[in-house]
């Protein structure tokens, strides 16, 4: 990210969706000099492994 040094407003990023992609984007932007806001319709993240893997304990 490049920024005009004379600009007074801080950089901001809004990420819509907190799935795997949104969470990874938030992690990557956490190291950048900007404020990150992550928005999702749920207040939790749910991972559901495929049923056959859970039933047989087979690795993914």
**Sign (positive or negative) of CA dihedral 26, 28, 31, 35:** negative
Residue 60 has pLDDT above 80, yes or no: no
In degrees rounded to 5, what are phi and psi of residue 57? Answer: 55, 30
Q: How far apart are CA 59 and CA 50, in angstroms?
A: 11
pTM summary value: 0.63
* Contact between residue 34 and residue 14 where contact means Cβ atoms under 8 Å apart: no
How many CB atoms neighbour CB 8 within 10 A?
5
Which whole-number Å values give the CA distances from 48 to 5, 6, 15, 35, in the listed order? 45, 47, 22, 30
pLDDT of residue 35: 94
Q: Give 7-54 pLDDT, tens digit per residue.
A: 678 899 999 999 989 999 999 999 999 999 999 999 988 877 777 776
Task: Give the start-to-end residue ranges of the domains of the chain.
Answer: 11-35
């Amino acid at each position: 990210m490049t920024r005009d040094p004379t600009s007074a407003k801080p950089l901001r990023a809004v990420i819509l969706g907190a799935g795997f992609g949104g969470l990874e984007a938030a992690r990557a932007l956490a190291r950048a000099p900007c404020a990150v806001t992550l928005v999702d319709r749920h207040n939790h993240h749910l991972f559901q492994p495929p049923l056959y893997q859970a039933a047989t304990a087979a690795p993914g």
